[in-house]
Amino acid sequence: MSTNLRRGDHVYVSYGFYTHHGIYVGDDAVVAFCKKPADHPDGPPRICKISTAEFADGRKIRVRNHAPSECSPAEKVVARALSHVGATGYHLLSGNCEHFATWCKTGRFRSSQVETFARRIVAMERKAVAQRSMQVAAKRIAGVAAKQAGKRFVKTGGKLVGRAAVRLNTPLLFVADGVQLVVEHGAATLSGADPKTARQLGAASGLASSAGIGLALGGPPGAFVAVGLWL
């Protein structure tokens, strides 16, 4: 005898991945869906009145608690359950044992198992959509980055080629390059300047050398042209 259960209790047992539900109707009996009813073992699942031992199937019977304001009177709960003994129509997602027991207890046709499953499916779909969106965005960003990198490469490469051509046509500008390297190296090794400062000092010296060469060869106009060519 299940002395800890009361008539009208919404009861359930756990099978690990899912729970089986019913209504305790007193006299050590539960009304619940049975997969293989004793009177119709080959038929579809139907609502049966069975013993608590058969309902428990060796597991612990627990009581599903609902908010008091949601619960119908115990006798009404029992009457609902007994009125459906023999009924079929079981459906895992829209009419399972928890739907039936919750309806008997509260008058609402709900299954927390189905609702939880649905939320997980929605969450998985949202996650999949977010991942697809991130992948698309990443591809677009990578494409833009590659395009910009290509432009910078062409621009930088063109500038280097142009400077090399100018120096081949104006060999004295190589002297300015040499001055820049010597000053930059000296500032870094002898004066202990940081790399950025050393580069700035070297560039200034190279620019001054280029201007001096141009001034010597062509006066002020030559200096102006030499600075433009060196840059």
pTM: 0.53
* 12, pLDDT greater than 50: yes
Rounded to the nearest integer, the mean pLDDT of the chain is: 77
* 87, pLDDT greater than 80: yes
Residues pairing with 91 in the sheet:
95
- Give Cα 2 distance to the centre of its chain: 47
Could you tell me the residue ranges of all domains in the chain?
Answer: 10-110, 111-158, 170-231
Q: Which two tokens stand for residue 86?
A: 């023999």
Q: Which two tokens stand for residue 195?
A: 């790399």
- Residue 15 identity (one-letter amino acid): Y
Cα separation, 60 vs 11, whole angstroms: 10
- Give Cα 81 distance to the centre of its chain: 44
Fold of 10-110: endopeptidase fold (from Nostoc punctiforme) (3.90.1720)
- Give Cα 12 distance to the centre of its chain: 35
Cα separation, 133 vs 207, whole angstroms: 51
Contact in structure between 208 and 230 (CB atoms under 8 Å): no
User: Residue 24, class by beta-carbon neighbours within 10 Å (0-12 exposed, 13-18 middle, 19+ buried)?
Assistant: buried
Higher confidence at residue 89 or residue 19? 19
Instruction: Label the pairing between strands 10-14 and 62-63.
Output: antiparallel
pLDDT tens digits, one per residue of 96-141: 999 999 999 999 988 888 878 777 877 877 777 766 766 676 566 5
pLDDT tens digits, one per residue of 184-203: 556 556 655 667 776 777 67
The band of 1, judged by pLDDT with boundaries at 50, 70 and 90, is very low
Q: Which residue stretches of the chain are H helix? A: 52-56, 74-83, 97-106, 112-169, 173-189, 195-230
Cα separation, 98 vs 66, whole angstroms: 13
Q: What is the mean pLDDT of residues 134-149?
A: 62
Instruction: Please name the helix (run of DSSP H) or strand (run of DSSP E) that holds residue 225, with its range, or none.
Output: helix 195-230
Cα separation, 102 vs 196, whole angstroms: 75
Q: Which of 154-158, 180-184, 195-199 has the highest mean pLDDT?
A: 195-199
